[in-house]
Structure 1
């Protein structure tokens, strides 16, 4: 199945009554909600995008025409979303193999989520593919041609959900590390949260990081280590930020949580970095790639990668330790292997340099004082 036969159906025909404002035209950064929704599908490789309009449609036509999407008017929009889905399906020619159903007020879907849903559809041919984040189904589901007749002949009782539930045995849930699949904007508070998510979308939330660990089946032991590294990194980042230094605490926390994402696999730092990069997090990927070996000159500024590197070396398993405690077992184990020993000593020296710089920046006189910061 090629993506050209997958339709992106965006429903933007409702009243926005609970919101108290016309949702499709609310700003998200320099664009509107409806533009952002279109971008989410288009940037994921969906070329055939159709937008169902109804209420205040005249205000949407000029914008949507500039976006070069098909605009379909639902004159019966007062009947609810199911009527819009019917209106959209009636434009299908018979060649369409599936469609994403995306409410226009759920605009922040990550590219990797769309690609994962299509991949699973290709593998399984299931009737419905649902994105799931933290155990909760979100949008957009990918609905196959198996359901078209049932939808078109449905009487609307129970809405689309009633029809989808009839295909439960032929549906698949796909875990995605994408909080955006759950973020709609029914209320002003929803809108505020969505804007906050948008403004930091280049760094995954802690929940999304945990979603990555689940998605890639990282062991619980490794996850617990990452939680402790994130805790240490967060505290150091907050202290440095409070002292006036430019540090993104969220990026440090994300690095701590997923630095060992691919632990147990060959060259796990680079493998983990590729996983993270494939999800669109390039800054985080660099931190994951360098968490074991980091080139750090004495004059280099302390940054997020340096803090994650240090925090990782201050945690043994799930316990806070000193650098000497952390490196002692490895130094003893590989005492007879000069090449490996040199690598270990290099990492220890780098960690000591970073630790010394952080202590100096924070005005801590001794290593013990730095450890005592809680």
Structure 2
């Protein structure tokens, strides 16, 4: 949990004019947009959360009462978002050490992102900590109380961004594997995209996977292998789904991209699993943990882990190869190490068993066509 003095401010006072409907109360899965925004901060460890209300506030009160948050009323909400920022900062000035400032229509921030930002703030004492995804700043910034006086005395020309720019020399950015920091709701299409992101929030997107690989300084060689494995795994999964299975394509692709995340480290499959589980991606972690050694029951049904396991064994470097070629290379390389040879043979048997099971579902010809794509 974040230490006392850290407040989460959520701005939900505007007209939602571009969207054409009241955004805070739009459904998002089994909750509302405003509830999802509160959950994002709370799951990240922020205990003191306050929501700034204005337009249609009376409709928000009963919802907010159930969320156990503080309410800050902005009677000047018609003047625009900056008036809500000033109202919120004014309400916490003198008691808060720093605050997250989250627009209510940017509700899906990953728990790990909030924690990483707080950790960097405590380490650096920065005036502002900006969340960044793929080089682009998003929400919510973590703003130190050192900025409060300038915000409260500002006229709003240029908005909050203009005021915070005065503190750039004493601010920091943190690169996050979190596409949610850029996802707001201005249009119906934005809302649809946010809904899709919510449904699959426990699986990193393709871009988030690439960000994770970059964050953990994975070599270009390993990253290229991961992209190749992900592509083969996707094609395998699509073939199998066409034969009646119900494999999660996004999970398969994420597992393929990240399976060698910790390749340069000892026991890299377990280490990689721990990394992604700490980010909230437990299903991807399970795939990473099993991509080296996968135990199959006699009556097993091919799942996402089996697809990634097989795809990994069909790719040498970033090139598609047959199982025969892939394991011949490994057996030649480790011929002088009986214990390693035993492991290689065990993996070959597992890969061949998955191949045979897949062939029984889609036909040997379809799998062989895969090898020449």
TM norm structure 2: 0.97
Determine if contact 1:359/1:370 at 8 Å carries over to the other structure. no
The alpha-carbon deviation at position 93 of structure 1 amounts to 5.2
Q: How far did 1:365 drift?
A: 4.8
Any residues of structure 2 matched to 1:253-268 within 5 Å, and which?
Answer: 253-268=253-268
Quote how far apart the aligned CAs of 1:204 are. Answer: 1.2
Q: Give the match for residue 236 of structure 2.
A: 236
Post-superposition CA distance 1:251-301 (Å, at most 9, x none):
100001011111101111111101100111111100011111111234211
In structure 1, what is the Cα distance between the partners aligned to 2:332 and 2:110?
46
Distance change >3 Å, CA 93–CA 148, structure 1 → 2 = closer
Q: 1:142 to 1:284 in 2, by over 3 A?
A: same
Partner of 2:249: 249
Matched residue, 2:122: 122
Q: State the Cα distance separating 1:228 from its structure 2 match.
A: 0.4
Superposition pairs of residues 58-207 of structure 1, within 5 angstroms: 58-92=58-92, 94-207=94-207
> Aligned to 1:90, what secondary structure does the other structure show?
helix
Partner of 2:304: 304
Contact 1:65 1:71 in 2 (8 A): no
Partner of 1:131, secondary structure, is strand
User: Residue 33 of structure 1 aligns with which residue?
Assistant: 33
| Structure 2 unmatched ranges of 5 or more | none
| Aligned structure 1 segments of 4 or more residues deviating by more than 6 angstroms | none
Aligned position for 2:318: 318
Q: State how far apart, in whole Å, the 1-side matches of 2:208 and 2:86 are.
A: 34
CA distance in 2, matches of 1:13, 1:368: 58
Whole-Å separation in 2 of the counterparts to 1:341 and 1:30: 51
Q: Give the match's secondary structure for 1:301.
A: coil
Give the SS at the match of 1:246: coil
Corresponding pairs, count: 373
Q: Is the contact between residue 2 and residue 45 of structure 2 (CA under 8 Å) also seen in structure 1?
A: no
8 Å CA contact retained: 1:364, 1:370: no
Deviates more, 1:16-25 or 1:89-98: 89-98
Contact kept in structure 2, 1:8 and 1:41, CA below 8 Å: yes
What secondary structure is seen at the aligned counterpart in 2 of 1:20?
coil
For the 8 Å contact 1:4–1:46, the answer to whether it is kept is no
